Structure 1
Amino acid sequence: MSTHHTHNDVHSEQGARAGEHPGRAKNPVIKVRDLAWLEFEKPDLDRAEVFARAFGFATSFKDRDELHLRGTFAGGPAVIVRRGARSRFTGPAFLAADDADLLRLAGHLDVAVAPLPENLGGLVVDTRDPSGARVRVVTGCHQLPALPGQTPLVHNVGAGVARANATQRPPREPAKVERLGHVVLQTTRYRQALDWYLETLGLIVSDFMYYEGQRSRGPTMSFIRCDRGSEPADHHTLAMTLGPRTRYVHSAYQVSDLDALAAGGEFLKDAGYQRSWGIGRHIQGSQIFDYWRDDDGFLVEHFTDGDMFDNTLEPGWAPMTASGLAQWGPPASADFMGIRPGRESLAEARSILCALRRSDNEFDLPRLRGLLKVANS
């Protein structure tokens, strides 16, 4: 396999230096194809479904104890919500290439392959990453047929006239989710967890980020994609960042175009939901984004026009700054950065004190100083 460095004007300003993390494993156990779905628990499934519909999901299954949410593309559910005593993220499920890969993974981990419930079909291997977070790998699940989607608008660009004698009137309605794009997780054992995902699931890094002045200590965030060989994959399927506790950060769902994203945001605002940050365009991944909070405080993202990379691109390296999160758009909000006064920021502050007292994690005083610089950058 040949790789090449194309960081200038592509996805980062600089590549790796000698001796830095290569961003991929030489001989991974398997190579997962994609995220299958994300799993949550919530006490009120009816309320969860109301927000989900306003956000643009369709319901593919619901009973007293379980809610499955899907996009318009053919495939499985994007999100599974189970009834629980409290609201929490319970973990991602990744899609294995086939049954043989699932069996290989089960043998490597010394765990059993189990059948999934009939409403999902297929097989699953359950395990935990070095952070203690639950990870599922599945194959052979039922495939849902495609649903009608939102057709991207036809644009007149420059001197080209693609639309004559016709107006643009995008409806103010939910932006129909097409598919699950990625999940972002925070971990106290970032390097251990990163290596586990690369070595066990065959993921590869698109971009590393590091705290300014601390590059020699290694990265503190990575945007990680699936290795599909010459077939392009999302710039990141999983993103991981170092922090004082292991937790869900946000998840992202593709919509058809900017107009669907913007009009869908107006619909959410009119319905009384809270925009966290947006609209803007990211640097790493290039997505046009818009972030929202659901009723339980979970951060979810509409995105469109994200980068797609094959396996020939090596990781980019860039300093982590709040101002470096977007090419254009409003400044990153206090809510998005996790520093808005409230329950979540208090929990993060308590976890900082706990992490600094312990020696079994990677979050130490210099890393705290680096994190504070990011928040103030």
Structure 2
Amino acid sequence: MTSHHGTHNDLHSEQGAVSGEHPGRAKNPVIKVADLAWLEFSKPDLAASERFAHAFGFSTVSRTPDELQLRGSDAGAPCVIVRSGARSRYLGAAFRAADAADVVRLADTTGAKVEKLPESIGGLTVDLTDPSGVRVRVVADTHELAALPAQSTRAFNFGNDVRRTNDTQRPPREPARIQRLGHVVLQTTKYIETLDWYLEHLGLIVSDFKYYPGQRERGPTMSFIRCDQGTTPTDHHTLAMMLGPRHRYVHSAYQVTDLDALAAGGEYLREQGFHHSWGIGRHIEGSQIFDYWRDADGLLVEHFADGDRFDSTLEPGWSPMTASGLAQWGPPATKDFLGLTPGPEALRELRSMARALRDDNEFDLTRLRGLLKVASS
């Protein structure tokens, strides 16, 4: 490891990199994005999407027959844009550049064009495509939405540290108010190629690498990736990426204020008849308290609270990937969360395994054995 970066040991990974392993950052990236701005989806029923969004804790910025913009309570751009389409699918992510000059620099380097965004969003974008074929927007100078009133936090008694007397805890059973977009998780058959593309073009850096048990010498198969803002701490991961038999959206995550908001909001979602996937628990990589739900079209979304923040001094951690290693505490990862529940989605994944093994990509027979071992761990 280079000497000017801190070690990841004693945090939550078994060890750091060994000589010759992926460094987890590019030496000279084109730009360094500041954050994830928003995610874009296509949905066949915007009214149903909005009903779930409100139950999940979003507020509507605007809705037309063709587009729904959703936001959290923090100031900034909308964090989800849903466009009318024939089927439910993930369209891509927008990352926020430090300034318009970075958008121009990225466009000049890639040969892409700088274009104006619609007036409802404002600002500029350069639209790129990552090696997996996913659209990636890098934007600047978008309209700034004013902050909304935040969900109130509660006073806690921690053991004998008493901060609440003559009062009770009664968190209301209401939607957990989303504060902001946290991260998106993607699967690709071109994991290393796609990872390197994000590090080199957007200046992202890896917080943690995961590898299939017994296959570390073949390199990582998953990475948790954060924005590099120097000494300013950023989310443990803004993007997570994993090797798999097809390119697909896995889930996206949205911050709420605390455990009570998350848990009471989950009870509200349950009462509204929405499908709970997995939780409540606390992750290892990122440390977030989590709870996973399926939206109206079956896409996986996460409430989270109390996530880690790292600055740029930490090198990546390395640890084996196991299903049991997804959480420090909480119920075991469900078949629904792991994509193993019998149904159309699991069938698509099985069919894609056969296709991936025939194609020229990183998902070969050895990797398939590793993935199956993870799923059964």
- TM-score bracket for the superposition, by shorter chain length: over 0.9
* AA aligned opposite 1:107: D
Identical pairs, percent: 69
* Aligned pairs, number: 375
Partner in structure 1 of residue 121 of structure 2: 120
Q: How do residues 344-355 of structure 1 correspond to structure 2 at under 5 angstroms?
A: 344-355=345-356
* AA aligned opposite 2:51: V
Q: How do residues 232-247 of structure 1 correspond to structure 2 at under 5 angstroms?
A: 232-247=233-248
Q: Distance in 2 between matches of 1:245 and 1:136?
A: 22
Partner in structure 1 of residue 205 of structure 2: 204
Q: How do residues 275-286 of structure 1 correspond to structure 2 at under 5 angstroms?
A: 275-286=276-287
Q: Distance in 2 between matches of 1:175 and 1:296?
A: 20
Q: Distance in 2 between matches of 1:183 and 1:247?
A: 11
Q: CA deviation at 1:368?
A: 0.2
* Mapped contact 2:253–2:304 kept (Cα < 8 A): yes
Partner in structure 2 of residue 324 of structure 1: 325
Q: How do residues 158-237 of structure 1 correspond to structure 2 at under 5 angstroms?
A: 158-237=159-238
Q: Distance in 2 between matches of 1:334 and 1:284?
A: 20
Q: Distance in 2 between matches of 1:226 and 1:102?
A: 16
Partner in structure 2 of residue 6 of structure 1: 8
What TM-score do you get using the length of structure 1 for normalisation? 0.99
* AA aligned opposite 2:166: N
Q: CA deviation at 1:61?
A: 1.0
Q: How do residues 146-157 of structure 1 correspond to structure 2 at under 5 angstroms?
A: 146-157=147-158
Q: How do residues 66-85 of structure 1 correspond to structure 2 at under 5 angstroms?
A: 66-85=67-86
Partner in structure 1 of residue 304 of structure 2: 303
* Mapped contact 2:8–2:316 kept (Cα < 8 A): no
Q: CA deviation at 1:166?
A: 0.5
Q: Distance in 1 between matches of 2:349 and 2:153?
A: 40
- Structure 2, unmatched stretches of 5+, are none
Partner in structure 2 of residue 63 of structure 1: 64
Partner in structure 1 of residue 374 of structure 2: 374
Q: Distance in 1 between matches of 2:168 and 2:126?
A: 51
Give the match's secondary structure for 2:268: helix
* AA aligned opposite 1:194: L
- Does 2:92 match 1:91? yes
For residues 224-277 of structure 1, give each alpha carbon's deviation from its aligned partner in whole angstroms, at most 9, with x where no partner exists. 000000000000000000000001000000000000000000000010011100
Q: Distance in 2 between matches of 1:152 and 1:329?
A: 23
Q: CA deviation at 1:13?
A: 1.6
For residues 298-323 of structure 1, give each alpha carbon's deviation from its aligned partner in whole angstroms, at most 9, with x where no partner exists. 00000000000000000000000000
What TM-score do you get using the length of structure 2 for normalisation? 0.99
Give the match's secondary structure for 1:18: coil
Q: Distance in 2 between matches of 1:80 and 1:233?
A: 23
- CA-atom RMSD in angstroms: 0.7
* Mapped contact 2:182–2:238 kept (Cα < 8 A): yes
* AA aligned opposite 1:372: L
Give the match's secondary structure for 2:105: helix
Q: Distance in 1 between matches of 2:326 and 2:16?
A: 18
Instruction: Flag as ranges the 4+ runs of structure 1 deviating above 4 A.
Output: none
Q: CA deviation at 1:11?
A: 2.8
* AA aligned opposite 1:362: E
